């Protein structure tokens, strides 16, 4: 238009910004908005609304809020569309507090919230693990002359599901018809998932069977949740029945469907049934293989498990035409992280505290790309933000031979990991005392940020979890930070036999000995403790060439400083039961 001397007006710009929004081009949308003033075109509410929506779709909640706050300065008043788009941006960015703040501030802007505004706020609470707040918003809608719709109820049901409140989820589902709101397949699926997480497989099946009567056809999500509920309830026959019924209901089973049914058979010792399911899958993933292999071992067929794993290893080794490898020698670093050990494309890095596993992997990938190598790096496990230590990774995608081999070992529990931690509470016993914690864990969403949004709680409806520990050292009073006179700080060697989220943290807190610095689980806080004192110091598995891969991560300086503050001298080697740990502590610091 400009090239042909046709003057662009606000309508042209708004249409172009809207096109960028629909095309997922938030940067272009912002560029057009900012260029309007240079072209002496004044943006209107449609221009801003489209730009805010573009930022919302692009996951740019900060940019969306900046645009919203700048509107009055441009003498453009926000509308319910502007505010709703900004609330939705906060929802997608998991900023539930900001979403609630915007919702409550709308009347001050002389903007009446509509159902989209409320629904976005409820969804933000659902993503933030705030089921109580979500229910409060839902109940407040009629008083504001806004009637909840199926989206409102479904978001609230999902919030209850993530919070482990299956009774409330069912109450909301049954209350929808009384409010003349017809549930859809998403509403039912969320309720079934709530029952699954609550260990209520009978109720999950009842909801699934009632859907056709309500003229709502189950989809793969509905079936997958019901199959998983049967898996957790030890009902492998019912899980198989659901899987077999899906094609008759014109629902195509996906990888999740098969994995859940395989897991149900495997946990019940029906590994032969699980093998049959493997043969039916279009593409067999490493997780499914790991579930079957684990079932073989737990059924006493260790020899069969070993031979099957060896067959998989040889098959994947043969298919690996080229094993990627970083072109450096041993004891190197890249992307700012130290490589502890590397073996034919399998490598382990030292993960420091204060960075997520995902961000670490992203930095390594960028470092490889900057040097002209393939930037695809993947892993099959993770460490919490504040946990330091060994992190195994592979050069290549998850679908590569190395990626599958690493995944199947974790899924079959063939990887041993050893952690060092400091915990506080009643003394577990003198040095060398050993014990095991065997309590199922259920992961719930809370109101934190990032991984702290999750919390593992002891629950009979949770997943099996076992943790072994050994007392390495006991530090008794005088320690002014301790609460009770008979308590002590203990250094433990911990071996998780299963791999649940926050397993060590929740298990130790559950026996009254939370990890020092772990505020989320009631851990001791003190000036000399700057983080959760949990360190993964050794890991052991096999590489694709059947060689033992056993990296070790020296103690980080902050953990050593804490031990020295407690009076522990690693040079003296005061703990005979942990000679390997003492040797490691005397080595190079990180």
| pTM confidence score | 0.81
Q: What residues does 378 pair with on adjacent strands?
A: 394
Contact 179, 209 (CB under 8 A): no
Distance between CA 396 and CA 376 in Å, rounded? 5
Contact 459, 442 (CB under 8 A): yes
Q: Nearest-CA neighbor of 118 among 153, 159, 152?
A: 152
What pLDDT is attached to residue 579?
Answer: 52
Residue 354, by phi and psi: left (phi above 0), alpha (psi -120 to 50) or beta? left
- Tell me the pairing of strands 534-542 and 388-395: parallel
- Tell me the pairing of strands 388-395 and 416-426: unpaired
Q: How many helices (H) and strands (E) does the chain have?
A: 23, 13
ω before 478 within 30° of 0 (cis)? yes
pLDDT along the chain (590 residues), means of 10: 59 90 92 88 92 94 94 92 95 93 93 95 93 96 94 96 94 92 96 95 97 94 97 95 95 94 93 93 89 92 94 89 52 81 91 95 89 82 95 91 94 96 94 96 71 78 93 80 79 96 96 94 87 96 95 93 82 48 50
Distance between CA 215 and CA 468 in Å, rounded? 50
Contact 190, 223 (CB under 8 A): no
Quick check: is 580 catalytic? no
* Alpha helix ranges (H) inside 325-427: 357-370, 401-411
Give the DSSP per-residue string, 10-44: HHHHHHHHHHHHHTT-HHHHHHHHHHHHHTT----
Burial of 398 (0-12, 13-18, 19+ CB in 10 A): middle
Distance between CA 326 and CA 391 in Å, rounded? 16
What are the distances in angstroms from CA 545 to CA 337, 391, 432, 488, 542? 26, 20, 36, 45, 8
What pLDDT is attached to residue 321?
Answer: 60
Q: Nearest-CA neighbor of 419 among 489, 495, 354, 474?
A: 495
What are the distances in angstroms from CA 8 to CA 29, 165, 349? 16, 55, 55
What pLDDT is attached to residue 590?
Answer: 44
What pLDDT is attached to residue 484?
Answer: 74
> Dihedrals φ, ψ of 346, to 5°?
-95, 130
CATH of 333-587, one of 3.40.50.800, 1.20.1050.90, 3.30.2350.10, 3.30.300.30: 3.30.2350.10
Distance between CA 372 and CA 564 in Å, rounded? 44
Give the DSSP per-residue string, 496-565: ESS--TTHHHHHHHHTT-PBTT-GGGT----TT--S--EEEEEEEEE-TTS-EE--B-PPPHHHHHHHHH
Per-domain boundaries in the chain = 333-587
What pLDDT is attached to residue 451?
Answer: 41
CB atoms inside a 10 Å sphere around CB 122: 30
Contact 519, 530 (CB under 8 A): no
Distance between CA 49 and CA 233 in Å, rounded? 48
| b/e code 344-366 from CB counts within 10 Å (16+ = b) | bbbbbbbbbbebebeebbebbbe
Q: Nearest-CA neighbor of 394 among 414, 368, 370, 420?
A: 368
> Both tokens of residue 152?
């409102």
Residue in 73, 108, 384, 518 annotated catalytic: 384
Reduced to 3 states (helix: H, G, I; strand: E, B; else coil), residue 50 is: helix
Give the DSSP per-residue string, 424-450: EEE---STT-EEEEE--EEEEE-SSSG
CB atoms inside a 10 Å sphere around CB 327: 8
For residue 125, give every residue at least 6 positions away whose Cβ sits within 8 Å of its Cβ, in sequence order, or none: 96, 99, 100, 131, 133, 134, 137, 159
């Amino acid at each position: 238009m400009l090239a042909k001397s046709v003057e662009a007006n606000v309508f042209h710009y708004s249409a172009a910004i809207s096109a960028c929004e629909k095309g997922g081009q938030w940067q272009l949308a912002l560029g057009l908005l900012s260029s309007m003033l240079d072209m002496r075109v004044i943006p209107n509410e449609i221009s801003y609304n489209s730009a805010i929506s573009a930022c919302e779709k692009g996951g740019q909640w900060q940019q969306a809020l900046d645009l919203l706050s700048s509107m009055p300065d441009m003498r453009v008043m926000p509308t319910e569309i502007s505010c709703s788009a900004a609330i939705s941006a906060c929802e997608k960015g998991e900023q539930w507090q900001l979403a609630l703040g915007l919702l409550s501030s709308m009347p001050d802007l002389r903007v009446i919230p509509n159902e989209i505004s409320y629904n976005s706020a409820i969804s933000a609470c659902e993503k933030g693990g705030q089921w109580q707040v979500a229910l409060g918003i839902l109940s407040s809608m009629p008083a504001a002359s806004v009637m909840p719709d199926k989206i409102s109820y479904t978001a609230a049901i999902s919030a209850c599901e993530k919070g482990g409140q299956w009774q409330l989820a069912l109450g909301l589902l049954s209350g929808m018809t009384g409010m003349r709101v017809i549930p859809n397949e998403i509403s039912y699926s969320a309720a079934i998932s709530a029952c699954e997480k609550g260990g209520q497989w009978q109720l999950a099946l009842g909801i699934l069977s009632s859907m056709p009567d309500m003229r709502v056809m189950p989809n793969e999500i509905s079936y997958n949740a019901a199959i998983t509920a049967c898996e957790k309830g030890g009902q492998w026959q019912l899980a198989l029945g659901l899987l077999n019924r899906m094609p008759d209901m014109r629902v195509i089973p996906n990888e999740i469907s098969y994995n859940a049914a395989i897991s149900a058979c495997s946990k019940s010792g029906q590994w032969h049934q699980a093998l049959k399911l493997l043969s039916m899958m279009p593409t067999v993933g490493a997780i499914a293989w790991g579930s079957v292999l684990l079932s073989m071992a737990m059924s006493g067929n260790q020899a069969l498990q070993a031979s099957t794993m060896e067959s998989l290893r040889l098959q994947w080794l043969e298919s690996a035409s080229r094993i990627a490898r970083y072109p450096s020698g041993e004891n190197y670093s890249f992307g700012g992280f130290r490589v502890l050990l590397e073996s034919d494309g399998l490598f382990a890095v030292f993960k420091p505290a204060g960075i997520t596993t995902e961000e670490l992997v992203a930095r390594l990938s960028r470092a490889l790309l900057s040097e002209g190598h393939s930037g695809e790096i993947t892993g099959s496990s993770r460490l919490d933000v504040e946990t330091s230590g060994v992190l195994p990774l592979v050069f290549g995608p998850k679908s590569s031979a190395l990626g599958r081999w690493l995944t199947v070992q974790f899924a079959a529990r063939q990887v041993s990991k050893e952690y060092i931690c400091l915990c506080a509470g009643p003394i577990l016993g003198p040095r060398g005392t050993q014990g095991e914690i065997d309590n199922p864990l259920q992961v719930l969403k809370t109101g934190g940020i990032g991984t702290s949004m999750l919390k593992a709680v002891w629950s009979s409806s949770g997943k099996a979890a076992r943790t072994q520990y050994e007392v390495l050292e006991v530090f008794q009073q005088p320690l002014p930070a301790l609460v009770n006179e008979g308590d002590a700080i203990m250094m433990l060697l911990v071996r998780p036999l299963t791999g649940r989220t926050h397993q060590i943290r929740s298990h130790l807190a559950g026996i009254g000995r939370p990890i020092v610095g772990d505020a989320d689980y009631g851990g001791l806080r003190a000036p000399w403790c700057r983080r959760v004192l949990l360190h993964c110091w050794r890991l052991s598995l096999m590489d694709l060439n059947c060689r033992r891969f056993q990296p070790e991560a020296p103690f980080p300086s902050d953990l050593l400083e804490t031990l020295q503050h407690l009076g522990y001298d690693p040079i003296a080697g005061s703990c005979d039961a942990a000679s390997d740990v003492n040797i490691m502590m005397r080595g190079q610091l990180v």
